[in-house]
Amino acid sequence: MELQILLTNDRSKYIQIYEQINRAILHNRLSAHTKLPAKRQLAEQLNVSVMTVQIAYEQLLSEGFIYAIERVGYFVSKIESEGHYIGKTIIIPEKVTVDDEIINFKSGQVDNDTFPYKHWHRLYGKELQIFNGMNAPWQGEAGLRIQIATYLAQARGLHCQPEQVYIFSGFQQQLMNICLFFNRQAVGMEEPGFLRAKAIFNQLTMTSYAIPIDEEGCTVPTENIKVLYTTPAHQYPTGIIMSVSRRVQLLNWAVSNNSYILEDDYEAEFRYKGSPIPTLSHLDNDEHVIYLGTFSKTLLPALRVSYIVIPKSLLNDFEEFNKHQKSTVSKIDQHVIAKFMEEGLYSKHIAKMRTLYRNKRKYLIECLKESFGEDITIHGDAAGLHIIVQLPKRLDETKAITLAKQTGVSIDPVSVMYGKNKPNHHVMIGYGASSIDEIKHGVQLLNIAWKREHNY
């Protein structure tokens, strides 16, 4: 048979084919068990590719409008309620196109182009060949937990056993689990602090106290709290590195108050002035620090793999609390990361990225100083993947971000990290995702945008 299908150029061809056959079936213009034209025949009739027709047929097939008989063809299904159906257009989403940002200066981004995909694909292929379809244990694959424990001892000075390591699918899941484990007791949070951590505390309706930071990092809480969330190695967002004396003070506070410190070590591998700072957990002899780690900054954010290290004194209670949990992290991904670490590729990759990010950071700062001179001040540049830029008083944060966006440059605000006394003349500029050329071009665009403002 020959279908009467009219195509226009304003929408995807496969959607038009799907919709017109769909309507013909629903309005009884195609009766049940009618054979549809072969894919190649309809493609020639409509002057489209066979793949275009195949996609339309597969959508109709998946929704039950047609059925297939192998080596025979496609046929119209019998719709039992066809007489009562009120026709409506079923929309298949087309590819959404968004205006590409010229420069991505957002914080928390990584350089995806330098990821060792060749090694990753090799390891992934091997794991697929031996994959048995079973889910991972809820606490994570033993091989990965062993590699993480080994890495933490060598690179971060944190000595733990593999049974203390638990695998999670990202920061927010692991933080929520810990908060629930402590029965949503009162929590302290650095001020300013990580917005996503604040969001978790708010979602769980926890009593949350803002704990101020100073030049030595998070101050010692005076409030009655069970848990303190802090980022000692690179305070977010200011970049302050917690002093040794403050670390000891916080550990003494935790012991005295039977409280626990959540140490978020999110970007500690990337330190550019001096040696990497050991973890707070490294100094913890009384088991009052819970360590939060992630692969999002050192590998790829899309992997969604993070981990926590639980003090031995809490292991039994933590296991009991989570005894009905199921793993939310792909078993294959866990095996691949473990092999990646075991072969020494992880350490090599971090070393390579540390050099790359150090060069990017240096170049970004040079470009900013060349363009803006003493009009700006740079903070928090000793580590991590972003810097804080203090703008002149005559250019506020909102205006600076708006002007940047209009030229195609995306940067982040700082004020949203504060609960009160919000600064109004600071922005965050991330350099993880942008290339050297993009950094130069991005600063040039910022220079044009910000100096275009007549008050600048």
- Each residue's pLDDT tens digit, 296-310: 999 988 889 999 999
Most confident of 9-18, 62-71, 407-416: 407-416
Percent of the chain with pLDDT over 70: 93
| pLDDT for the residue 4 | 84
Q: How many residues are present in the chain?
A: 456
| pLDDT for the residue 258 | 96
CB 159 within 8 A of CB 280: no
| pLDDT for the residue 101 | 57
CB 312 within 8 A of CB 276: no
Over 80: is that where the pLDDT of 277 sits?
no
Average pLDDT value for residue range 16-31: 89
CB 129 within 8 A of CB 371: no
Q: Tell me if the bond preceding 192 is cis, omega within 30° of 0.
A: yes
Among candidates 11, 53, 15, which has minimal Cα distance to 36? Answer: 53
Which residues share a beta bridge with 430? 386
Average pLDDT value for residue range 214-218: 95
CB 51 within 8 A of CB 13: no
Over 50: is that where the pLDDT of 92 sits?
no
> Which one is predicted more confidently, 378 or 71?
378
- 283 vs 232: CA distance, rounded Å: 12
CB 43 within 8 A of CB 52: yes
Residue 82: pLDDT band with limits 50, 70, 90: very low
Helices 142-151 and 345-372 cross at an angle (nearest 10°) of 50
Residue 393: pLDDT band with limits 50, 70, 90: confident
Q: pLDDT, tens digit, for every residue of 235-271?
A: 999 989 999 999 999 999 999 999 999 999 988 788 8
For residue 233, give every residue at least 6 positions away whose Cβ sits within 8 Å of its Cβ, in sequence order, or none.
241, 242, 265, 267, 268, 271, 276, 277, 279, 383
- 142 vs 320: CA distance, rounded Å: 19
* Tokens matching residue 424: 């109004």
> Which one is predicted more confidently, 453 or 369?
369
Residue 363 has phi, psi (to 5 degrees) of -70, -40
* Tokens matching residue 452: 């275009």
| pLDDT for the residue 270 | 85
| pLDDT for the residue 122 | 93
CA 449 to chain centre: 29
The per-residue b/e assignment along 408-438, b for 16 or more CB within 10 angstroms, e otherwise, is bbbbbbbbebbeeeebebbbbbbbbbbbeeb
Q: pLDDT, tens digit, for every residue of 403-431?
A: 999 889 999 999 999 988 898 999 999 99
| pLDDT for the residue 133 | 76
User: Whose structure tokens read 């084919």?
Assistant: 17
47: left (phi over 0), alpha (psi -120 to 50) or beta: left
Mean pLDDT of the chain: 89
285 exposed, middle or buried (CB, 10 Å; 0-12, 13-18, 19+)?
exposed
Q: What is the CA radius of gyration of the chain?
A: 28
- 360 vs 365: CA distance, rounded Å: 9
Which residues share a beta bridge with 308? 166, 292
| pLDDT for the residue 102 | 79
- 37 vs 223: CA distance, rounded Å: 74
pTM for the whole thing?
0.76
Q: pLDDT, tens digit, for every residue of 96-125?
A: 344 445 799 999 889 988 999 999 999 999
Percent of the chain with pLDDT over 90: 64
| pLDDT for the residue 26 | 86
Q: pLDDT, tens digit, for every residue of 155-191?
A: 888 999 999 999 999 999 999 999 999 999 999 999 9
3-state secondary structure labels for all residues of the chain: CCCCCCCCCCCCHHHHHHHHHHHHHHCCCCCCCCECCCHHHHHHHHCCCHHHHHHHHHHHHHCCCEEEECCCEEEECCCCCHHHCCCCCCCCCCCCCCCCCCEECCCCCCCHHHCCHHHHHHHHHHHHHHCCCCCCCCCCCHHHHHHHHHHHHHHHCCCCCHHHEEEECCHHHHHHHHHHHCCCCCEEEEECCCHHHHHHHHHCCCCEEEEEEECCEECCCCCCCCEEEECCCCCCCCCCCCCHHHHHHHHHHHHHCCCEEEEECCCCCCECCCCCCCCCHHHCCCCCEEEEEECCCCCCHHHCCEEEECCHHHHHHHHHHCCCCCCCCCHHHHHHHHHHHHCCHHHHHHHHHHHHHHHHHHHHHHHHHHHHHHHCEEECCCECCEEEEECCCCCCHHHHHHHHHHCCEECEECHHHCCCCCCCCEEEEECCCCCHHHHHHHHHHHHHHHHHCCCC
Q: pLDDT, tens digit, for every residue of 202-212?
A: 999 999 999 99
Over 60: is that where the pLDDT of 134 sits?
yes
Over 80: is that where the pLDDT of 291 sits?
yes
